[in-house]
Structure 1
Amino acid sequence: MLNRHILINRKTIILETILTITNLNKVYNKYVHAVKNLSLEIHKGNVYGILGPNGSGKSTTLGIVLNVVNKTSGDYQWFGGTMQTHDALKKVGAIIERPNFYPYMTAKENLELVCKIKNIPFTKVQEKLEIVRLTERMNSKFSTFSLGMKQRLAIASALLNDPEILILDEPTNGLDPQGIHQIRDIIRLIASQGTTILLASHLLDEVEKVCSHVLVLRKGEMLYSGTVDGMTNKQGFFELKAKDNIQLESVLENHPSVEKITEDDGKLLVYLKSDLASEELNQFLFQKNIVLQHLVKRKHSLEAQFLELTNNHQSN
């Protein structure tokens, strides 16, 4: 297996590479470039969110690596290229379509059928039903399940072979808030047990709440690849208010860490170009005879960073 060695505090940490994509392209009908020269690596133990609007190439990319969509050019390798794709996919669990089970069979019977087809012991059924919290409904027919329960059963089915990586395409699509919350909790639980997860979504909130890493796609191109914290952890901004906001603004304009200042609902939003601690700013203003009535330091949301990324890319 392909490993990447990283030296941290003189200790070598080995990152196992689950999936490597290199210069991947997919063109439909000669004109629609769904995936453009895409390269990325998925490492063991992380939760990756592929984030992008509809038509960004998320589902096409997943379809290619799962061998259900033909690539136009480029390459991908599972587990460092140590095995053929057919064998590698036996170590992958995936849900890329709506759950498709027999409506007249129970949840338990449907999962046992999957076990028969894939030569998996029936003992896995109870174990996976517990993870997705469906043990109380294991003897209910699939036709009686809500959309959220159907999705949870699909996740249980994808987990039957104890996959090293679980791939989910828009797992909360169409669900009500309670269903969304349940799926997110299950994803966190699965991740905590050491399973690598690759999750495609157009919901920023979903990626921010459950993922450790994010890949941003737009029109088939990669705009960002890295940690969620790395994307949101720019210098951030302060919300400030004083008795005289005009005086406050004029003093702040000369501070070397301040990039720009805007006003919103009676507060000044002070954006930074270099790091500045709250106590440093407070002390600086106090020395200028300004006493703050309100001081909150905020970080940029994933949504703000996503919009900045996609808007900048559009204007280039």
Structure 2
Amino acid sequence: MEPILTISNLTKKFGYLTAVKELSFTINKGNVYGILGPNGSGKSTTLGIVLNVVNKTSGDFKWFDGNTTTHHALKKVGAIIERPNFYPYMTATQNLKLVCKIKGVDYSKIDEKLEIVGLLERKNSKFSTYSLGMKQRLAIASALLNDPEILILDEPTNGLDPQGIHQIREIIKQIAAKGTTILLASHLLDEVEKVCSHVVVLRKGEKLYSGRVDEMISSHGFFELKCNNQDTLVKLLQNNSVFGKIKVQDTLVTAFLNEPMKSDDFNKFLFENGIILTHLVQRKESLEEQFLQLTDKN
């Protein structure tokens, strides 16, 4: 695995507030990483530190092999950490030409990047005529002009309507499919589950989980159950090592599995123990359920 960014024991304090606390994780080439957490969990602060716009309090981070200065490394980074900032009465092409001059990039890249974000047909339209989703897509085109090795996005779908959200997510997937590493901060579990291969879960600046998304949601799932003799059912489940957490809410019993089990085998097991179900549904845990379990434990 080739590291793109390595964060080690990173801490940031604003007076008495610790925004990021001894945070460590590594981003490897070719993956889509999500920093997931509610507002105020330290996501934007972490991105600000590695992009040299926020000073760290302690800890360290290194780009690529660690022998590259942050200044030089950032030439290989594309980032959007604030709302798109373009001239409203200039066209998309004119705005991107200015970015090319700043980044020292050839103008020939402009059409190529506008095509990726689906704005080539609107390249001669003024920025002021763009919808919020189009403005965000133009910002992504701008961040791609220097063919970055990693694209950093802070809450890329914030404030967009469902169609705009879908378009941005599809663009992120397309960019990732071409080999660009992506790091995005989001408070949306749905976004991370649909777009990211890896996730770092933060709460109040502390890391709760770091790893693959599919491993985080690779639990054996759970059964939702109802029957007329609930107490007997709960006792039977609690005394069986196949089941972990047992949750009771009114007439619904939720039994989390420690190992794989088919619903017909489960139903047979209960029937042999004198329990007849009136309701049986087998489900997989979503990232949301995993996330809630993580935050409950901490």
2:167 is aligned, of 164, 171, 182, to 182
Shift of residue 288, structure 1, vs aligned partner: 4.5
Indicate the percent of aligned positions where both proteins have the same amino acid: 69
SS at match of 1:81: coil
1:13-52 equivalence runs, <5 A: 15-29=1-15, 31-52=16-37
2:105 is aligned, of 120, 144, 161, to 120
Shift of residue 261, structure 1, vs aligned partner: 3.9
Asked if 1:192 corresponds to 2:207, the answer is no
Shift of residue 65, structure 1, vs aligned partner: 0.5
Q: Distance in 2 between matches of 1:161 and 1:259?
A: 50
CA contact (8 A) 1:20 1:80 kept: no
Deviations 1:33-80 (A, max 9, x none): 111111110011111110111111111110110111111111111002
2:122 is aligned, of 134, 137, 141, to 137
Asked if 1:228 corresponds to 2:213, the answer is yes
State TM-score, norm by structure 1. Answer: 0.87
Deviations 1:282-306 (A, max 9, x none): 4434544667665432122212222
Q: Distance in 2 between matches of 1:260 and 1:113?
A: 57
Q: Distance in 2 between matches of 1:32 and 1:267?
A: 42
Alignment match, 1:7: none
Alignment match, 2:136: 151
Q: Specify every segment of 5 or more residues in structure 1 that has no aligned partner in the other structure, as ranges.
A: 1-14
SS at match of 2:55: coil
Asked if 1:210 corresponds to 2:195, the answer is yes
2:48 is aligned, of 63, 80, 83, to 63
Shift of residue 18, structure 1, vs aligned partner: 0.3
SS at match of 1:167: strand
Deviations 1:154-197 (A, max 9, x none): 00000111111100001111111111111111111111111111
Shift of residue 121, structure 1, vs aligned partner: 1.5
Q: Specify every segment of 5 or more residues in structure 2 that has no aligned partner in the other structure, as ranges.
A: none
Alignment match, 2:295: 310
1:53 is aligned, of 29, 34, 38, to 38
2:87 is aligned, of 102, 112, 115, to 102
2:223 is aligned, of 225, 232, 238, to 238
**Cα 1:310/1:75, change in 2 over 3 Å:** same
Shift of residue 265, structure 1, vs aligned partner: 8.1
Shift of residue 240, structure 1, vs aligned partner: 3.7
Which one-letter code corresponds to 1:26 in the other structure? Answer: K
**Cα 1:279/1:176, change in 2 over 3 Å:** same
SS at match of 1:300: coil
Q: Distance in 2 between matches of 1:159 and 1:40?
A: 25
Shift of residue 204, structure 1, vs aligned partner: 1.2
**Cα 1:246/1:25, change in 2 over 3 Å:** closer
1:297 is aligned, of 278, 282, 285, to 282
Shift of residue 258, structure 1, vs aligned partner: 2.1
CA contact (8 A) 1:215 1:223 kept: yes
Which one-letter code corresponds to 1:215 in the other structure? Answer: V
Indicate the larger mover: 298-307 or 97-106: 298-307
State TM-score, norm by structure 2. Answer: 0.92
Indicate the larger mover: 104-113 or 160-169: 104-113
Q: Distance in 2 between matches of 1:243 and 1:190?
A: 53
Q: Distance in 2 between matches of 1:221 and 1:17?
A: 22
Shift of residue 266, structure 1, vs aligned partner: 5.8
Shift of residue 263, structure 1, vs aligned partner: 5.1
CA contact (8 A) 1:115 1:121 kept: yes
Q: Distance in 2 between matches of 1:167 and 1:54?
A: 18
- Report how many aligned residue pairs link the two structures: 298
Indicate the larger mover: 122-131 or 281-290: 281-290
SS at match of 1:239: strand
Shift of residue 94, structure 1, vs aligned partner: 0.3
